Amino acid sequence: MARPQTKSDMIIAATESYAKLMNLIEGMTDAELSTEFDFSKDENKKEAHWKRDKNLRDILIHLYEWHQLLIACIEANNAGEHRTFLPEGYTWRTYGDMNVMFWDRHQSTSLSKAKNMLMKSHEKLMGQMKTYTNEELFSKGVFAWTGGTTLGSYFVSAASSHYDWAIKKLKAHKKMVSRNRVV
């Protein structure tokens, strides 16, 4: 699916990608859930996240934390408090360090709690998404705090694009587990 360019497409993409992700998770076997992620033998998986995330909880927490970034940014700016999307001390060059900080923060979070946190943050993000007009979401310059991009772009990145990233990662893990299974 192409990157959404309208409010309705954005809502559909986020809803469908989230449902697809949840269905994929519900269908995971005990072996897939209990086997640690290890993509070290795949030369094509060079990005840091392939080494960082070790289990489903790590992926769900990553999604949750990125939801929180956008929710907090929107709420602060709507209240008149200037706040950038990335927390103080991080830039688009160093956001990988921020992702590691999120990972570290949640190493004692249970999978069950991570699922619940993600479900609630998804619902909140979808609620926020629906409050804006198509023009507010996809016209540049509407909100000074979005910089040179659109608010819709932030929503797409935090929701459907990130869900697609998680789906890709979970499918790769499932494939690895099935290949390594002794028959």
pLDDT-derived band of residue 183, with 50, 70 and 90 as boundaries?
Answer: very low
Distance CA 51, CA 1 (A): 27
Distance of alpha carbon 84 from alpha carbon 74, whole angstroms: 9
Record the pTM. Answer: 0.95
Residue 164 has pLDDT above 80, yes or no: yes
Digit-coded pLDDT (tens) for 60-71: 999 999 999 999
Report all structural domains of the chain as residue ranges with CATH numbers, in order of start: 7-12+54-178 (1.20.120.450)
Q: How far apart are CA 25 and CA 27, in angstroms?
A: 5
Q: Is 110 helix (H, G, I), strand (E, B) or coil?
A: coil
- The span from the CA of 115 to the CA of 111, in Å, is 6
162, 14 contact by CB (below 8 A): no
